[in-house]
Every structure is written in C-alpha cells, then in structure tokens.
Chain A
Amino acid sequence: GNSVTQMEGPVTLSEEAFLTINCTYTATGYPSLFWYVQYPGEGLQLLLKATKADDKGSNKGFEATYRKETTSFHLEKGSVQVSDSAVYFCALSDTTAGNKLTFGGGTRVLVKP
C-alpha cells in the first residue's frame, strides 16, 4: 500500500536559517505529491504540490522537487521566518484512488527570533 515517511520533529531553527524537511514515499502507480501546512489554531492548508516526476512545486519561498528515482519530495526554504512556525505534512495522492491523500506523520517546525 501507499505510505509516506517524513523526518520527525521538532525542528528548531533561528530566523533566516535554511530549512529542509525530508520526505520519502512508497506508492503504486504515479502519485501526485503535496506538502500541507498546519499553522497554530488553523486547519490544514495546501502549501505546494507536484504532479509528475521532476516537477518542482513552490510557494511562499518553499520549494520541493518530485524525485521519482529516489522516491522523495523534500521541502526546503532558504531563509525561514518566525511566521513559518507550523506543522508540515508530506502527502501523496494515488491517481487510482481519486483525491484520497496518504499523509506522513508531520514535522513540527519552530523558528525562533
């Protein structure tokens, strides 16, 4: 079956530091890949996505590249802000299963000023 593994947190950084959150997946077929973010007190929201191999998703300074050869979709940001403190979830959507998402366990990121 489908599964997503992401690095455990919490990850604590200083403002303007570089952030990487690793994500690897196992899937049948050709999944689409996503990063969702959950800010304190808010619902999950889509951060970025990539629908095929070598696609790069980007939003709000975050980037992730769909690497089929390594089955990975690592999230990166070059200079984090305090407002980036949140829980980040990597997820995949199997095209044979509609929009049903399989999530990783989440990585809590805390950015200190």
Chain B
Amino acid sequence: GAGVSQTPSNKVTEKGKYVELRCDPISGHTALYWYRQSLGQGPEFLIYFQGTGAADDSGLPNDRFFAVRPEGSVSTLKIQRTERGDSAVYLCASSFRSPGTGELFFGEGSRLTVL
C-alpha cells in the first residue's frame, strides 16, 4: 500500500496476556518509529529502528515491551504480561532516513485496550 499500515486496528485483551502489534512501513523507508498515545495526550516515543537494528530504545517503559524488525521492513511491537496502564493507541511511523528532515509518515494506529 501507499501508506504505513498497522494491524490490528483494535485489540482488546485481558490483563496478563501477551500482545503483538504489527507495522508495515512505506516501501523504501529505512527508519521506523513506534510511539504510544494515551487519551488526550501527545504521542510519546518508544523506539526507533534504522534498518534492522534498534538505534534508540530509550522510550520503552520497561522490559515487558520489546520490538523487532528482522528484515528491515515490517516491525512488531511485543508486550508481555499486559497491564491496564498499557491501554493506549500505538502509532508506527516511517521515514526515508535519519537524521533527515524530520517528516515522519504515521499509520492510523493500533488501539490496545487491556481489561
């Protein structure tokens, strides 16, 4: 597709379960970012990939959160032992390279609800 694709668009899970969220970036974009947006707030940085490697994972809140990008394209954000506080919209974005102009192309997000 032409834009950043995220699946699922909505995910409802129970506390303690494991969740995977997928991001398919724009073709040719080497940089990929994950952000988390809580209700009524701005997006908060989680992790950034340049190619296959995590260039900056300083925003991951704790070791229950992990992300991979094994082939330098699709990325998966993994959340273990989910907690109610993990409920948010998880946004993925991509760009041509980094550092660059700063323009990120965002997907529509995956809304995670932890009951």
User: Which residues of A are at the interface with B, using a C-beta cutoff of 8 A?
Assistant: 4, 32, 34, 36, 42-46, 49, 51, 89, 91, 93, 95, 97-106
B102 touches A89 (CB 8 A): no
Contacting A104 at CB < 8 Å: which of B40, B42, B106? B42
Cβ of B85 < 8 Å from any Cβ of A? no
Cβ of B91 < 8 Å from any Cβ of A? yes
Cβ of B43 < 8 Å from any Cβ of A? yes
Closest to A102 in B: B45
Bound CA–CA A59/B3 (angstroms): 21
Closest to B93 in A: A44
B106 touches A45 (CB 8 A): yes
A106 touches B42 (CB 8 A): yes
User: Which residues of B are at the interface with A, using a C-beta cutoff of 8 A?
Assistant: 3-4, 31, 33, 40-45, 48, 50, 55-56, 91, 93, 95, 98-109
Closest to A98 in B: B98
26 A-B contact pairs sorted by A residue (CB < 8 Å): A4-B42, A32-B101, A32-B102, A36-B106, A43-B91, A43-B109, A44-B43, A44-B104, A49-B102, A49-B103, A51-B102, A89-B42, A93-B102, A98-B56, A98-B100, A99-B31, A99-B98, A99-B102, A100-B45, A100-B48, A101-B33, A101-B104, A103-B42, A105-B40, A105-B42, A106-B42
Q: A residues within 8 A CB of B56? A: 97-98, 100
Given A103-B43, A105-B42, A106-B41, A98-B48 contact (CB < 8 Å): yes
A43 touches B4 (CB 8 A): yes
A100 touches B33 (CB 8 A): yes
Closest to A33 in B: B102
Given A34-B102, A49-B103, A99-B42 contact (CB < 8 Å): no
Given A43-B106, A44-B106, A45-B106, A98-B99 contact (CB < 8 Å): yes
